[in-house]
Amino acid sequence: MDIEGWRKKIDELDQKLVELISERARAAVAIGKLKRDTSMPIYEPDRERVVFENVQAANRGPLAGRDLVRIYERIIDVMRNVQKEEIAPKTEPADAGTELDSEVSD
């Protein structure tokens, strides 16, 4: 395969990765809701350690295990932020105007 063929292959793989990462994010949102409802902490180092062990066990190369863990550290960091957004108390949207604004415009 020439370079253009390989680039096309990478583009196809990227599309699949985006779908899988989005699916993972949806799962993280669901977990965030459960954590919020049960007052569980967002950061769970033991769970992260299990994830790293699982991906290293599934790794068949050519990436070194440490490189795969670095990628997953970033993925987990982003998913943790997604959960933080889900756990944050829901606030009512602020009205466009305030009482003070209406008094000023009179």
Got the DSSP string for the chain? --HHHHHHHHHHHHHHHHHHHHHHHHHHHHHHHHHHHHT--S--HHHHHHHHHHHHHH--SSS-HHHHHHHHHHHHHHHHHHHHHHHSPP-PPPPSS-HHHHHHT-
Note the pTM of the prediction, 2 decimals: 0.75
d(CA 32, CA 82) in angstroms, rounded, equals 8
Q: Is the pLDDT of residue 78 over 90?
A: yes
Q: Which domains does the chain have, with CATH numbers?
A: 11-88 (1.20.59.10)
pLDDT for res 85: 81
What residues contact 9, with CB distance under 8 A and at least 6 apart?
1
pLDDT for res 106: 46
d(CA 89, CA 27) in angstroms, rounded, equals 19
Q: Which of 60-69, 71-80, 96-105 has the lowest mean pLDDT?
A: 96-105
The per-residue pLDDT for range 82-99, each reduced to its tens digit, is: 888 877 766 655 555 555
The per-residue pLDDT for range 20-65, each reduced to its tens digit, is: 999 999 999 999 899 889 989 989 999 999 999 999 999 999 999 9
